Amino acid sequence: MNIDVVCVGNIKDKYFTDAIKEYQKRLGSYANFNIIEVDEYKLPNKYSQAQVEEGMEKEADAILSKINDRAYVIPLCIEGKQMDSENFAEKIEKITVGGYSDICFIIGGSNGLHNKVKTKGQLKLSFSKMTFPHQLMRVVLVEQIYRAFRILRNEPYHK
């Protein structure tokens, strides 16, 4: 199984990168796991909504260029489906049983995801109605993917 997480921007804070590296290491025994970063569009200090849309579209083009054509695509967005950890694990299992060996999660930048990325997804996923920094969301997503594999293998993991 191959799991890619395509993200807008990079992480500079060591505490986030350390957490992500730890979960990446743990995931190594379950799947080939990759984080693919694309550049975040830089807005000027004073910007218009049109410039925000332009930036999101440029980010979308970069994201879409990184998605494997055979992947089951899951963009993270606030209007997506919410599920608990057990349902998330079951969904991953159903995706793989359904013939997919590649799953691609997508995390947008600070302005969110352009609609053309959202419509590419087979499942829009939300972790909460709240808005989270995309750096923190990366940690939460990677942890939940790891937790899903532990659940699927009936391996102990803290609740």
The tens digit of pLDDT for each residue in 96-144 reads: 999 999 999 999 998 999 999 999 999 999 999 988 888 999 999 999 9
CA dist list (Å): 31 to 14, 16, 17, 26, 86: 24, 21, 19, 10, 18
pLDDT at position 157 is 76
Give, in degrees to the nearest 5, the angle at Cα 83 between 57 and 128. Answer: 55
pLDDT at position 131 is 85
pLDDT at position 74 is 98
Q: Is 121 left (phi over 0), alpha (psi -120 to 50) or beta?
A: beta
Q: Which residue from 153, 135, 97, 119 is spatially nearest to 5, judged by alpha carbons?
A: 135
Q: Which residue from 14, 21, 18 is spatially nearest to 146, judged by alpha carbons?
A: 21
Is pLDDT at 158 greater than 80 in this prediction?
Answer: no
Task: Report the alpha-carbon distance of residue 47 to residue 44 in Å, rounded.
Answer: 6
Task: Report the alpha-carbon distance of residue 145 to residue 69 in Å, rounded.
Answer: 21
Token pair, residue 64, equals 């879409």
The tens digit of pLDDT for each residue in 5-19 reads: 999 999 989 999 999
pLDDT at position 73 is 98
- Which pTM was predicted? 0.94
- Strand, coil or helix: 61: helix
**Local structure of residue 42 (DSSP, 8 states):** P
Is pLDDT at 159 greater than 70 in this prediction?
Answer: no
The tens digit of pLDDT for each residue in 34-88 reads: 999 999 999 989 999 999 999 999 999 999 999 999 999 999 999 999 999 999 9
